């Protein structure tokens, strides 16, 4: 199976978006690159990361990179698909680290456009809930919405996953 140049997989928490994205990539390659953006700050997150590692097994080349995702993309083996899981945690890392979100987003999109590797980005859809009650949460929600729109504009395939079921928003499901 041939993957589009850029795919965005959106969904809520525990929607099945990561599993869908991983299966999509494994149908195209047996040695893909997984760029993990999570940072572990507590036991619950450590357990979640361990579960994800166990589910992936050893066939993935995993790069743990919470901020410099574009640089990690450039080190991936040529032609092999790249999974970035996830843009939401990456954005959280940028905001909490006081990085320039717009500049880093531009660099990420440029790297996705220039790589010879197909790229699949997993991201949370956070704009369907209530308006957050604090400035930081509103800043994050707005930044996530803008980032998702930017990625979707550039992507050939955009898939929403709800209850484990994929729905194409842009492009045909493979």
Which sequence spans correspond to the domains of the chain?
Answer: 6-170
Q: What does the alpha-carbon distance between residue 82 and residue 62 come to, in Å, rounded to a whole number?
A: 10
Distance CA 52, CA 68 (A): 21
**Angle value at C-alpha 59, between 159 and 44, nearest 5 degrees:** 70
> How high is the pLDDT of residue 8?
98
Portion of the chain with pLDDT greater than 70, in percent = 100
Mean pLDDT over residues 2-11, rounded?
96
Tokens of 94: 């940028």
Quote the CA–CA distance of 88 and 147 in Å, as a whole number.
Answer: 9
Q: What is the mean pLDDT of residues 162-170?
A: 97
Q: Is the pLDDT of residue 132 over 90?
A: no
**Residues labelled as active-site residues:** 52
Output Rg (C-alpha) for the chain, integer angstroms: 15
Confidence at residue 54, expressed as pLDDT on a 0 to 100 scale: 82
Over pLDDT 90: what percentage of the chain? 80
Residue 45 or residue 108, greater confidence: 108
Rounded-to-integer distance, Cα 171 and Cα 155, Å: 9
The predicted model gives 38-45 an average pLDDT of 88
Per-residue confidence (pLDDT) for residue 127, from 0 to 100: 85
Mean pLDDT, the chain, rounded, equals: 94
- The 3-state DSSP class for residue 29 equals coil
Nearest to 99 by CA among 63, 66, 137: 66
What's the predicted TM-score (pTM) here? 0.94
**Six-digit token string for 145:** 């919405």
Pairing of strands 119-124, 61-64: unpaired
> Which residue blocks in 16-170 are alpha helix, DSSP H?
17-26, 43-56, 69-74, 87-96, 101-114, 135-154
Q: In this predicted structure, what is the pLDDT of residue 115?
A: 95
Reply yes or no on domain 6-170 having CATH 3.40.50.300: yes
- DSSP class of 163: T
Provide mean pLDDT across the span 135-159: 96
- Note the pLDDT of residue 1: 84
Q: Is the pLDDT of residue 128 over 90?
A: no
Q: For the chain, what is the total number of helices (H) and then of strands (E)?
A: 6, 7
How many residues belong to the chain?
174
Q: What is residue 73's predicted lDDT score, i.e. its pLDDT?
A: 96
What's the gap between Cα 74 and its chain centre? 16
């Amino acid at each position: 199976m041939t993957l589009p140049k850029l795919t965005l997989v959106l969904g809520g928490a525990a929607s099945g978006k990561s599993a869908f994205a991983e299966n999509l990539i494994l149908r195209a390659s047996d040695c893909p690159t997984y760029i993990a953006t999570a940072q572990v700050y507590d036991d619950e997150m450590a357990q979640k990361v361990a579960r994800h590692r166990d589910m992936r097994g050893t066939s993935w080349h995993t790069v743990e990179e919470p901020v410099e995702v574009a640089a990690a993309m450039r080190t991936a083996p040529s032609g092999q698909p790249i999974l970035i899981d996830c843009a939401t945690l990456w954005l959280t890392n940028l905001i909490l680290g006081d990085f320039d979100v717009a500049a880093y987003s531009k660099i990420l999109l440029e790297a996705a456009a220039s790589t010879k590797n197909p790229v699949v980005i997993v991201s949370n859809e956070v704009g369907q809930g209530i308006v957050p009650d604090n400035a930081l949460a509103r800043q994050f929600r707005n930044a996530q919405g803008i980032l998702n729109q930017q990625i979707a504009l550039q992507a050939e395939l955009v898939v929403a996953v709800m209850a484990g079921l994929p729905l194409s928003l842009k492009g045909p499901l493979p």
